[in-house]
Amino acid sequence: MDGGQKRLHVQSKALRWLTHPGDEVGEDVRPQLLSSPNAIVMGAISGLLVSGTSIALDGSPVFLLLAALECAILLARIVSIRRLGRMAKSRHELPGDMAILLSCAWCALQGVTAFFAMQTGDATLMVVSATMVMALIGPLCARN
């Protein structure tokens, strides 16, 4: 391994399996699996569109809470990815625990948002939330 390659390091044993696939994957590729700021923002926009549509059509306060959580997680993820970017300039190993936990929290939030949208019984919200979930699953599966 040359000196320019960065290595993703995960301290949590519970999260380590997410970054160590069964097949051999180059160490230079693993940090890239954490996502990019552009992908994070686009995903958050998708979640906010579903929450916003749900607020407009249903008006339930739960969707306001979900939109606020979306914004909070978005901010935390951007800060985390930028921190890793700064660390990449000076460190050989990059701590990935926080980025992985935030990604998992964001995925769970999308599921919760879709669940509450489906519970409204509004056909428009049901289609929009199902479309959001399917639109998120494809790229995640393709990348992984």
Q: Using one digit for the tens of pLDDT, what is the confidence trace for 116-130?
A: 999 999 999 999 999
What's at 119, amino acid-wise? Q
Looking at per-residue pLDDT, the higher value among 32 and 53 belongs to 53
Decide if 84 contacts 103 (C-beta within 8 A).
Answer: no
Using CA atoms, how far apart are residues 128 and 135, in angstroms rounded to an integer? Answer: 10
Whether 10 and 96 have beta carbons less than 8 Å apart is answered as yes
Six token digits for residue 59 = 């008006």
Is residue 36 a contact partner of residue 125, using CB atoms and an 8 Å limit?
no
pLDDT tens for each residue of 48-74: 999 999 999 999 999 999 999 999 999
One-letter amino acid of 86: R
Can you give the pTM of this predicted structure?
0.78
